Structure 1
Amino acid sequence: MTVTTRVALATSDMGLAWDADLPLMLEALRARGVDAVAAAWDAPDFDWSGCAAVVIRSTWGYPERWPEYLAWADAVQGVTRLDNPAGLLRWNADKRYLGELAAGGVPVVPTRFIAPGEAVALPAHGQFVVKPTVSAGARDTARYAEHHHDLAAGHIAALHAGGSTAMVQPYLTRIDEGERALVFLGGTFSHAIRKGPVLTDVGVVDNDRVPHPDLVPHRPSAAELALAGAALAAVPGAGAPLYARVDIASADDGAPVVMELELVEPNLFMGHGEHGLRRFTDLVQERATAG
């Protein structure tokens, strides 16, 4: 009798409704004979141990339930294969990893971290961005001008009151050229997209904004590929992650810099990569049956 390999794509109630990648991935895996299912990460009765592998996809809402989410990831990893692994989630979901990348020589957007209880210092000139270190989809993020210090300080105070560390970055003057997202599968470049600027309003926290506006395919430059490779080389742990997305923008001098390194549950834009879905399916199937 043939034993069918079960793979779960971990999502959320919102992901089940809105994740554009999810149905594509399920269909591609099922076409290979894999028993692929989608399950919300916080589903109380789902048996994760019955899966040969669990792939984290659209576990939206995890920043608001961070300790619970980490405990779930640890528990799943204790009974089956988890991609990406819990240790990577723990490291990558807190954007203080940008400081580690910078210390290792990887060009990133200059970032100042302000923990609760620390003095708040804001840029004297130019526009800047305030966000929490643990967030997704530009949630609780806003752009400010130099005359908005009171608004920005209030934003930081609200983040601190919720127990979050705040981060302050310059607003890149060339962001209108587009933010580039380079997708890697198993450590190999797959495809890329370019999107329009997200923080179009000044002094406004808008958690309903579209996180990926005006998507178009993108052919990365050699400099962008080299930067993404350097960022991935700095990721802790052995072996390449199942998936990674490196978000890149242009600094004021035109040089590419890392905005974020997404290893937790990034949109992989499978509808924009000719070979990406096949590569993803190959990797999931190989890892699930590796034993």
Structure 2
Amino acid sequence: MKRVALATDEVGREMDAELPVLVAALRARGIDAVAVGWDDPGFDWAAQDAVVIRSTWEYTDRLAQFLAWADRVGAVTSLHSPAEVVRWNSDKTYLAELAAAGVPTVPTRFIAPGEAVRLPEDGEIVVKPSVSAGARNSARYTVAQRDAAEAHVRLLHEGGETAMVQPYMERIVDGERALVFLGGRFSHAMRKGPVLTDTGRVDNARVPHPGVAGHTPDTAELAVAAAALATVAVPAGGPLLYARVDLALAGDGSPVVMELELIEPNLFLTEAEGGVERFVEAVARL
């Protein structure tokens, strides 16, 4: 019987409602599955045939420790996503690489500590750290709130974080699209409402996926998602076990990448018909 560990953490155990469902489904498939905290010092990762990063939702607060863990685990067993991909995807500066490769992407300005703070003069903007999850320490600002936006950037710098500044995508009211891929194949998509519904305020208690509903992506959305995934340097061994590509609509209605989620995304498996089964089969093919 193959052994598979689903890596989680304290927050994941509390908030990941799909975790016990996946463990049960994998066991029903004949796989010895267990959910375990990634920072559990007593767990034998080398005894696993594969380790799947599932809901390590606190990793942004301990990034260096988490990346070191991924390196150690990836050296003794099959880690998904691979440590190299985890390192690359943990900082949203990867968006600059997507844009440079010609992938339609939300225009993003990165401002590292020590760099001059220059903000766009027109339109509403969003300020957030380049290492974040679930809209942590993120806020939306109007033109009249530029002083507050600049203060937000400087606060991030004081914490040693790189700030990213993006235009607020007005058509986010039409829904953010989340396209999920399992084993390199498109599985399903969801549409969710806007998170930053007010301005000038950081609120880390916001619901990260409001109003989730099923979505059928069009040809353009599938093409942009495929182009984004094609830029990822995947180590030898096949396609990524999972990926989620988050898209928004530009002013002309064309899709652009907001984020490429390759570490511990909510995959909405129980909300998509056959989602759990496709995940289990993708794990079984590892």
TM-score normalised to the size of structure 2?
0.97
Per-residue CA deviation, residues 8-30 of structure 1 (Å, 9 max, x unaligned), is 00000111111022122111101
**Structure-2 residue corresponding to 1:246:** 245
Q: Number of residues paired by the alignment?
A: 284
Partners of 2:130 and 2:176 in 1: how far apart?
19
**Structure-1 residue corresponding to 2:274:** 275
Partners of 1:122 and 1:148 in 2: how far apart?
11
Partners of 1:129 and 1:29 in 2: how far apart?
40
**Structure-2 residue corresponding to 1:112:** 109
Q: Which amino acid aligns with 1:192?
A: A
**Structure-2 residue corresponding to 1:257:** 256
Structure 2 gap segments, 5+ residues each: none
Partners of 2:270 and 2:284 in 1: how far apart?
20
Partners of 2:63 and 2:30 in 1: how far apart?
34
Partners of 1:272 and 1:235 in 2: how far apart?
27
- Equivalent of residue 229 in structure 1, options 223, 226, 230: 226
Check whether the contact 1:133–1:166 (CA below 8 A) recurs between aligned residues. Answer: yes
Check whether the contact 1:21–1:268 (CA below 8 A) recurs between aligned residues. Answer: no
Superposition deviation, residue 6 in structure 1: 1.4
Equivalent positions of 1:120-159 (< 5 A) are 120-159=117-156
Equivalent positions of 1:145-224 (< 5 A) are 145-224=142-221
For 1:119, what is the secondary structure of its paired residue?
A: coil
Question: How high is the sequence identity, in percent, across the aligned residues?
Answer: 63
TM-score normalised to the size of structure 1?
0.96
Partners of 2:126 and 2:10 in 1: how far apart?
30
- Equivalent of residue 91 in structure 2, options 91, 94, 110: 94
**Structure-2 residue corresponding to 1:7:** 4
Superposition deviation, residue 43 in structure 1: 1.2
Superposition deviation, residue 276 in structure 1: 2.1
Check whether the contact 2:112–2:162 (CA below 8 A) recurs between aligned residues. Answer: yes
Q: Which amino acid aligns with 2:268?
A: F
Q: Which amino acid aligns with 2:240?
A: P
Superposition deviation, residue 275 in structure 1: 2.2
Check whether the contact 1:11–1:60 (CA below 8 A) recurs between aligned residues. Answer: yes
- Equivalent of residue 17 in structure 2, options 20, 42, 46: 20
Partners of 1:76 and 1:285 in 2: how far apart?
19
Q: Which amino acid aligns with 1:271?
A: T
- Extract structure 1 runs of 4+ deviating beyond 3 A: none
Per-residue CA deviation, residues 182-240 of structure 1 (Å, 9 max, x unaligned), is 00011110000000000011011010100000010000011100110111111112431
